[in-house]
Amino acid sequence: MKISHLAIIAITVLFWSCSKRAPASFEKPVIRQSNADSQPAASIPINSSPATASEVNAALHRIFADSVHASCQEHSFTTGDFNGDGSPDLAALVLPNYSKLKIVNDPLANWTIQDARQAFVAPADQRVVFLPPKPKPQSTHSKELLLAIVHGYGPNGWRDPNAQQAYLVRHPGTGPIETRRAPQHVEGAPVSLAHSQIIFEPTRVGFLFWTGSQYAWRAAPHMPVETAESIPPP
């Protein structure tokens, strides 16, 4: 009797342990993707159409509201890829509105006021570069001609509502302005300048270029004259 009882208990334990095992797993079938899904997305073409005065005024109002107004002189704005990110940027000569000077000079404004003549450019022949002290905040007055620069965002560039990075640049130029190819060699300029463009002022014979953090001014008395046909599109 003891043997039969032990046999019954052993069978019961074996049955119970088998019932506790995890259910068998089955490999799911592999879903084959179509060729259309595996192809890379087509790149969106860059909007490099010529800027109109109404578009420029709309962009300036979007960024600066009524704190500045566009200069009325000819060739007061130009477009190009000034910071080398592939998105079209806008540069326009503007004047601060006297009644809005407090807003223009507000250090918490959504734009940066900087003096291109004081921009730091690292020497090319030094392996160790010591940064200068942080410059004091810049301010402007109502009769000072500034260069408003709006960095582009995505394929639509400066026209895109998300294009909000803007600068009010103090510089010795008085206009007109135009887009030029960057010179082959600019001392201290970043490598990205090779595939960027510059803002050229023929009357002052100088240009502004992006250093990677700000705009710097360089006199260029020997730069050759370029025709409109030789200037690459932004």
- Of residues 121 and 25, which shows the higher confidence score? 121
d(CA 105, CA 182): 31
Asked if 159 contacts 59 with a C-beta cutoff of 8 angstroms, the reply is yes
d(CA 60, CA 166): 10
Residue 91 pLDDT:
98
pLDDT tens digits along 35-48: 444 444 457 888 88
CA angle 231, 193, 225 (to 5 degrees): 35
**pLDDT greater than 80 at residue 226:** no
All structural domains of the chain with their residue ranges? 53-230
pLDDT tens digits along 197-217: 999 999 888 999 999 899 999
pTM of the model: 0.75
**pLDDT greater than 50 at residue 33:** no
Confidence of residue 30 (pLDDT cuts 50, 70, 90): very low
Q: Which of 123, 149, 166 lies closest to 208 in space, CA to CA?
A: 149
Q: What are phi and psi of 10, to 5 degrees?
A: -65, -40
In sequence order, what DSSP letters do the residues of 136-163 get, joined into one string? Answer: PPP---TT--EEEEE---STTGGGSTT-
pLDDT tens digits along 110-148: 999 999 999 887 666 667 666 777 778 899 999 999 999
